[in-house]
Amino acid sequence: MARYHVIHETRYDYGSSVSLSHQMLHLVPRTSQWQNCLDYRLDVTPAPVWRKLGTDAFGNPVEWFAFYEPHEALHIRSEMHIEVHPHRIDTLSDSIAWDALAGRLTYRSGGHPDIDDLAAKRYLFESPHVRIKHELADYADDCFTPGRPVLEATAALMEKIFTEFEFDPEATTDTTPVLEVLKNKRGVCQDFAHLMIACLRAKGLPARYMSGYLLTHPPAGQPRMVGADASHAWVAVYAPGSGDGWIEFDPTNNLLPDTQHITIAWGRDFSDVSPLRGVILGGGGHEPEVAVTVTPLDDATADTP
């Protein structure tokens, strides 16, 4: 088990006055079989006129805010203590064959699908950032040979993306199409997650976008820097009979996530789980300043809940 103290700060300086703002936040950590939130606090400046906590269509905690007074800046600070239990599986070869699973999930008139299969199908189709094209299926073909266990095939796809693509934060934006990422073979964790999801869905397999944080390690002998971490994205593939039915893969780092990945939310793609999104009336050009700090609670400098 691992325990963490996480601080996520977002600041907007609008340049001119904003008279009205509605915002939706995915910053409350999700509780699951392997993760517990020990405590959580969210501070917002200026104070919102209206505030509501609820759940989105994917079961993620979400908060909504409204601001009706003029303001020129917005500062949001979330702070949490998280407990993450081991959940990485050791054997990939025991999973169902990928083509058998894809066939099982194919629509058949008059059929009576398993309830878990039916729930998984929401992650089987195109979404705003994920296209299903033959180029994506072709790219994954050598990983998905007939009869291969779905988790073995998915691990091979993860390794292929890790090997053939270069991490480059200057190569893409939040809206770069997945086919452009495939062509240029450069991007960041969000791009690699979208690409892997698109390949899996093109092969007829449900896959969801995982959003959260990843513990990073400072260079040897150097202290952990405040604000130096960032949000992270990875993938989960539907594999009934394995674990809890959804097994995670991190194509940016070529590993199966375990206690070093902290989950905030999951959805079809980034657009479902963006940490902060909304609409404003007024303001000028603005880009958010984001700082994330993930500290293991066994560090001497870590806070305790």
Q: Are 93 and 241 in contact (CB under 8 A)?
A: no
For residue 224, the 8-state DSSP code is P
Classify 94 as helix, strand or coil.
coil
Identity at 224, one-letter amino acid code = R
The pLDDT, as a whole number, for residue 300 is 40
Q: What are phi and psi of 124, to 5 degrees?
A: -105, -15
- How is 127-147 classified by DSSP, letter by letter? BTTB---HHHHHHHTTTS-TT
Sign, Cα dihedral of 28, 174, 134, 184: negative
3-state SS class at 1? coil
3-state secondary structure (DSSP) of residue 10? strand
The per-residue pLDDT string of the chain (305 residues; one tens digit each, 9 = 90 and over) reads 999 999 999 999 998 999 999 999 999 999 999 999 999 999 999 999 999 999 999 999 999 999 999 999 999 999 999 999 999 998 999 999 999 999 999 988 877 889 999 999 999 999 999 999 999 999 999 999 999 999 999 999 999 999 999 999 999 998 899 999 999 999 999 999 999 999 999 999 999 999 999 988 776 766 655 545 779 999 999 999 998 899 999 999 999 999 999 999 999 999 999 999 999 999 887 788 999 999 999 754 444 34
Distance (Å, rounded) from C-alpha 196 to C-alpha 160?
A: 10
Q: Which two tokens stand for residue 272?
A: 């479902």
**Domains along the chain?**
2-85+274-296 (2.60.40.2250), 98-271 (3.10.620.30)
* pLDDT of res. 174: 86
Quickly count helices (H) and strands (E) in the chain.
7, 13
Whole-number pLDDT of residue 304: 39
Whose tokens are 């995982």? That residue is 210
Angle of helix 189-202 versus helix 150-164 axis, rounded to 10: 140
CA quadruple 255, 80, 286, 278: dihedral sign: positive
